[in-house]
Amino acid sequence: MTNIIEAPKGKNESAAGSEAGPAEDLDVLKMVLPSGRIQEKVVSLLERVGLSFTKSGRSYRPRTSQTGVVAKFLKAQNIPDLVALGRHDCGFSGLDWIVEREADVVELLDLGYDPVSIVAAMPEYLATESLPERRERRLVIASEYRNLTLNYIKSQNLNADYVQTFGATEALPPEDADMIIDNTATGETIRQNRLVIVDTLLKSSTRFLCNRKALENDAKRKKLEELVMLMKSALRANDKVLLEMNVNCENFEKLVSILPCMKAPTISELYKGSGYAIKVAVPSCDVSQLIPQLVAFGATDILEYKLEKIVV
């Protein structure tokens, strides 16, 4: 029996202008990166952990800054299948496409990028119907997500016909569909098209995933573990800043008592015992309220630093 892996329709990924051929070294980590809107965030994160990419012209195969790693850019929809098949060792794609493609991969890290909800939405005049009322009518449901939609129809026991879409799904109702299943970040596009969300199927964000057999290779597993550790440390640093300040002996105890920190502040004595220097990592969202409070409790010479990584 032949297993058919359906690729999402769209512009063909070109191999023209290739910078590197297939890797022959079994220890080389083959990584596939998402093209499209999420590409910039993923590439920027990898650059922060020491893995950068140089593209040449329209090539889909960039040069990488590290030996032992080769990369290719593909559409995120294709990545889960290709990683599951072992054509690549690891890659980045949304959880929605991992679930949609029913890809047998290992999820290594949730980057939190591009958070969306996969929702069912209907025109306003149909959205008020109860589920039993919906089951009594013959529905047309449109979506890019074939498997998610068919599973939803089955789970809800709906009498429905499925229509495959290729973008602009929200434009079909009410003339061409009674319901759509689509992704949304804020729901604004759905509301603008006079649709109402009636159900949420899945919450998705960008994931780092790998092929199961890649973890059986010691060199690849080590590299994957290092990448996960470094990416986690960079993601943690996104939400925190380092504050450094001085305080005299009189105000020291009351100042330390209000400091938020990861474990405990770093404290060192100033020259000739004139006070203390304090360093603390704090949530960046709290800084605007925290700094005035620190000043009120006797802190001076306050410095704020952007953090690149936090390894715990």
Residue 222 covered by a domain:
yes
Are residues 278 and 290 both part of a single domain?
Answer: yes
Annotate 243-292 with three-state secondary structure.
Answer: EEEEECCCCHHHHHCCCCCCCCCEEEECHHHCCEEEEEEEEHHHHHHHHH
pLDDT value for 4:
42
Query: Of residues 195 and 21, which shows the higher confidence score?
Result: 195
Are residues 93 and 215 both part of a single domain?
Answer: yes
pLDDT value for 260:
84
| Coil, helix or strand at residue 86 | coil
Residue that the structure tokens 């360093």 belong to: 279
Mean per-residue pLDDT, 68-78: 95
Q: Which CATH number fits the domain that encloses residue 275?
A: 3.30.70.120
**Percentage of the chain lying above the pLDDT 70 cut:** 92
Residue 20 covered by a domain:
no
pLDDT value for 21:
45
* 81/6 Cα distance (integer angstroms): 9
What does the pLDDT look like over 89-116, one tens digit per residue?
A: 999 999 999 999 999 999 999 999 999 9
Q: Which of 203, 226, 252 is the last residue of a domain?
A: 203
What does the pLDDT look like over 109-156, one tens digit per residue?
A: 999 999 999 999 999 999 999 999 999 999 999 999 999 999 999 999
Q: Return the H-helix or E-strand segment holding 208.
A: strand 206-210
Residue 193 covered by a domain:
yes
Residue 16 covered by a domain:
no
Q: Which CATH number fits the domain that encloses residue 38?
A: 3.40.190.10
Residue 102 covered by a domain:
yes
Are residues 159 and 55 both part of a single domain?
Answer: no
Are residues 176 and 56 both part of a single domain?
Answer: no
pLDDT value for 7:
45
pLDDT value for 263:
77
pLDDT value for 80:
98
Whether residue 67 has pLDDT greater than 60: yes
What does the pLDDT look like over 22-48, one tens digit per residue?
A: 445 789 999 999 998 899 999 999 999
Are residues 94 and 230 both part of a single domain?
Answer: yes
Task: Report whether 47 contacts 234 (CB < 8 A).
Answer: no
- Split into its structural domains, the chain has a count of 3
Question: pTM of the entire structure?
Answer: 0.84
Are residues 38 and 170 both part of a single domain?
Answer: no
Residue 44 covered by a domain:
yes
pLDDT value for 15:
37
Are residues 166 and 216 both part of a single domain?
Answer: no
Question: pLDDT class for 14, splitting at 50, 70, 90?
Answer: very low
Whether residue 8 has pLDDT greater than 50: no
Mean per-residue pLDDT, 242-266: 90
pLDDT value for 24:
58
Are residues 86 and 212 both part of a single domain?
Answer: yes
Question: pLDDT class for 57, splitting at 50, 70, 90?
Answer: confident
Are residues 221 and 299 both part of a single domain?
Answer: no
Are residues 93 and 218 both part of a single domain?
Answer: yes
pLDDT value for 153:
97
Residue 12 covered by a domain:
no
Q: Which of 158, 177, 203 is the last residue of a domain?
A: 203
**Of 238, 282, 262, 224, the residue nearest 111 (C-alpha):** 238
Are residues 64 and 212 both part of a single domain?
Answer: yes
Are residues 38 and 95 both part of a single domain?
Answer: yes
Whether residue 215 has pLDDT greater than 90: yes
What does the pLDDT look like over 158-168, one tens digit per residue?
A: 999 999 999 89
Residue 177 covered by a domain:
yes
Q: Which domain holds residue 172?
A: 116-203
Q: Which of 156, 184, 203 is the last residue of a domain?
A: 203
Average pLDDT, the chain: 90
Evaluated on CA atoms 80, 81, 84, 85, the torsion sign reads negative
Query: Of residues 174 and 1, which shows the higher confidence score?
Result: 174
